[in-house]
Chain A
Amino acid sequence: MSKTSRHIQTLVLILFAAYALAPVYLVLLASMRSEADLFSGPLALPWPINIDNFLRVWRESGFAAYFFNSLKISAAVTVLVLLSAPLAGFAFAKMRFAGREGLFALFLAGLVVPAPSVIVALYGNLQTLGLIDNQIGVILPQAALLMPFSVFMMRTVMQEIPDELIEASTMDGATLFGTFIRIVVPIARPGLMSLTLIVFLFSWQEYLLPLVVLQTETLKPITVGAASLQGRYGVDYGGIAAAGLIAFAPIVVLFLIMQRSFVRGLSAGAVK
């Protein structure tokens, strides 16, 4: 390949990197500027660096609560999924039973269910169960909506475990559940790690469900909090930017650290 075309290709790579990062940089910039700067040039450098906006939204706008709510809800969803999806995935991958194809198709159909289309009925059900304005009312449906993806992914992971290992263990007299815990889980650990990260990411990003279910400010997660800042704070762009940054920075950092696991999880099933 000629030098020029290689340079052009490099330029393309860089341009798209700018496309990806420029908005993120903009938020970082805005989060460090004061309200008074609003009408001055939007690209002016944030100097001296100030974290007033972060302190303000964290302390005064309830962002500490939003943040920990997100953490709590996402962690609970993740635990629920981890306790159920691997077992189901294992059953679909390694066990023969009546109705297997039908049940798997049932899950597969759920892979694409749009949340807005079930919310119409879900809301009434949650009312009946007394789970409106309760974080459990977000956690259970959230885990359920992520279940098809998780089961599908776990089935793929479990299929790769050699049958001989399982047979050897059960022939030694271990129960299937014992085998699952002692043999399957350790082997599937990278897959489980990916599942953990993806489920956590997806539930951290969820907006509609908590928006509809939760009413009390102190129960809401960070996505709902950040969106409500738009109305509540009007043109306090600094505050909104700081809030936005709090909402995604932890996930971005987590992603950068665990990149490999993330990517493997998201592309599960795509490149088979």
Chain B
Amino acid sequence: MKTILALATGLTVASTATAETIVTQWDQFAQSGISAAGPAMDELIATCQPSLGGATILRTIAPSIGIRDSYRLAVSAGKTPDLAYTWPAASVLAGYARVGALALLDSYYEQYGWDHVNDFYRGRNSHDGHLYALPMEQDLMGVYYNKALFAEHGVELPTTYAEFQAAAETFKAAGIIPVSFGNRDRWPATNTFSLILGLTAGLEAEQAVLFGDEPWTNPAFKQAAETFQAWANDEYFPRGFNGVGYDEANALFLSGRAAMTITGTWVLQDMIRGAERIDLGVFMLPPIADGVPAGTMWGEGSQWQMSASADQAVKDAAAAYLDCLTSDASRQVWVEKGHTVPIGTTPDELAEWGADPIVQEFFAAGLATPDSNFYDLHTTLPESVTQVLYPELQRLVGGEVTADEFLAAMQASWETAIANGERWIP
């Protein structure tokens, strides 16, 4: 098995690595729990290590809540781990690239031909025209729905926004929460709002603001903010949603008290586990404004990044290791045992490797939307702006500020960030 894999990975052994070469790795794959990919990680380390010319991988697991913060502290103390699998990409990654903490990966991309990473993903892992990270898993946003509740109340899957609104009104009239949503943890609203923004403003209007000179206070963004607020005002969400945890919102949906919930593929395993009680389905939220094409947010969950200060031998060994982790054989392990869907995995492969039907359904539905991929604000905004977005979104949906006030606050922090050179442009 090992020899076959070594052949499959092209025998690209890092020539400079020796038995003393140690690659320190930080990742966030939990060792236990329903969707834990930790064991798959361990298995792949064991598989890949022999082809690294004697180099060893030293793994440290940081839980996902902690790695983002721990990593920054490590960078600031000059103790960046050689290799880290952290989140989010794009804007935050660019921050580290900007201060010279990350190694350039352009030559490794060329050497190993990482062509499964398309231009979209390359852009998200670049700063100033250079590649600084290798994405691995991919995630997308969609609407989970309770098939039984839809059937019981004679609701068809919405294909237009008007139908979506009608469906929500039907459920509300029947005493069922239309959309389960919990924003106590502060980040979930950013995902929901990013999706609404894409489906209201469209990709080009987003780019005009995020990468151009257009201010946040524009009519399309205002419509998006008003839409999100209207959902709350029209009681699409459970009461007190700003005090409901993300997991609680998912549990509320799985308990059958809510008809839908809008979130990403990263909770698929938890949903499947909880779906013993309900009949689970997924669909894509239809475009909200006229003339905006259907679409959703795709993105890598996290990405591999390398320390700029690592020795050349360590970097070479780490690159060979990354190539092994993203090989076809490894992708199968990620799907089968890691419950993740690596970039480049086709629907056929998902079927062949026995991914859960709902996983296949979700990815098929995502692929069926035209080729418009909206920006997830988490990965597009620098941290200083994200930390304004979190509380401002709580206030917006909580009805404490108007859409105009929300956008004005965002524009102010956006201008400060740009002035400080924090903006990311792919």
Contact = CB atoms under 8 A, between A and B. Distances in A.
A127 B248 CA distance: 37
A208 interface: no
Interface string A11-51: 00000000000000000000000000011000000000000
Contacts of B219: none
Contacts of B7: none
B62 interface: yes
Interface stretch (A74-82, A182-190, A231-239): A231-239
The residue among A38, A132, A235 with the most chain B CB atoms within 10 A of its own CB is: A235
The residue among A39, A60, A215 with the most chain B CB atoms within 10 A of its own CB is: A215
A234 B245 contact: yes
Interface string A226-246: 001011111100000000000
Interface in A110-131: 123-124, 127-128
Nearest to A228: B63
Given A38-B251, A39-B255, A128 B61 contact: no
Contacts of A38: 251, 255
Contacts of B31: 217
Contacts of A10: none
A128 B73 CA distance: 12
A170 B397 CA distance: 73
A267 interface: no
A234 B247 contact: yes
B60 A133 contact: yes
A217 B63 contact: yes
B33 A232 contact: yes
Contact of B77 (A124, A228, A230, A233): A124
B32 interface: yes
A216 interface: yes
Given A234-B250, A235-B247, A215 B60 contact: yes
**Interface size bucket, B side?**
20 to 34
A231 B31 CA distance: 15
Given A132-B79, A234-B248, A127 B65 contact: no
Contact of B32 (A60, A124, A215, A228): A60
Given A128-B77, A234-B251, A235-B251, A217 B61 contact: yes
Given A38-B251, A127-B79, A133-B60, A231 B73 contact: no
A87 to B, nearest CB: 33
Nearest to A39: B255
Nearest to A61: B32
B76 A124 contact: yes
Nearest to B64: A231
B70 interface: yes
Contacts of A232: 30, 33, 63
Contacts of A234: 245, 247-248, 250-251, 270
Contacts of B79: 127, 132
A215 B250 contact: no
B77 A123 contact: yes
B245 A215 contact: no
Interface in A133-160: 133
A102 to B, nearest CB: 33
Contacts of B270: 234
Contacts of B76: 124
B148 interface: no
Contacts of A124: 73, 76-77
B421 interface: no
Contacts of A235: 245, 247-248, 250-251
A39 B77 CA distance: 47
A132 B76 CA distance: 13
B243 interface: no
22 contacts: A38-B251, A39-B255, A39-B257, A123-B77, A127-B74, A132-B74, A212-B73, A215-B60, A215-B66, A216-B60, A216-B61, A217-B31, A217-B61, A231-B65, A231-B247, A233-B247, A234-B245, A234-B250, A234-B251, A234-B270, A235-B248, A235-B250
Interface of B: 30-33, 60-63, 65-66, 70, 73-74, 76-79, 185, 245, 247-248, 250-251, 255, 257, 270
Interface of A: 38-39, 60-61, 123-124, 127-128, 132-133, 212, 215-217, 228, 230-235
